[in-house]
């Protein structure tokens, strides 16, 4: 099992960051079949073999992902895609 954690600072404020996280989650849901669900300021994402969460704070966003055995082989590629998507979403 592989774990990925990516954190980025932002100056958007919590509400604007939440909206950006929601848009990013919808994109990930469409691309990878993830099911997003908000719980407070945390957006939980899951599908078979993947479990993750987007933690939205006042000054940062952190994405934590756990990959099952089959997806672990692609962890480097997945981390790179998460970093690019997060950087693009926070512009």
Give 83's pLDDT tier (boundaries 50, 70, 90): very high
pLDDT one-digit tens code per residue, 1-14: 899 999 999 999 99
Give 45's pLDDT tier (boundaries 50, 70, 90): very high
Per 3-state DSSP, the chain is made up of helix, strand and coil in percentages (nearest 5) of: 40, 35, 20
pTM of the model: 0.88
Give how many domains the chain has, as a whole number: 1
Amino acid 26: pLDDT = 84
Mean pLDDT of the chain: 91
- Which residues lie below 8 Å from residue 37, measured CB to CB, with a gap of 6+? 43, 44, 45
Q: Which CATH number belongs to the domain containing residue 76 in this structure?
A: 3.30.310.50
**Domain interval for residue 20:** 2-90
């Amino acid at each position: 099992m592989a774990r990925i954690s990516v954190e980025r600072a932002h100056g958007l404020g919590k509400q604007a960051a939440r909206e950006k996280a929601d848009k990013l989650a919808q994109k990930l849901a469409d691309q990878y079949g993830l099911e997003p669900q908000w719980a407070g300021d945390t957006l939980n994402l899951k599908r078979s073999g993947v479990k993750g969460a987007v933690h939205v704070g006042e000054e940062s966003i952190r994405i934590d992902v756990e990959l099952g055995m089959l997806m672990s082989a692609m962890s480097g590629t997945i981390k790179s895609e998460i970093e690019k998507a997060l950087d693009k979403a926070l512009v």
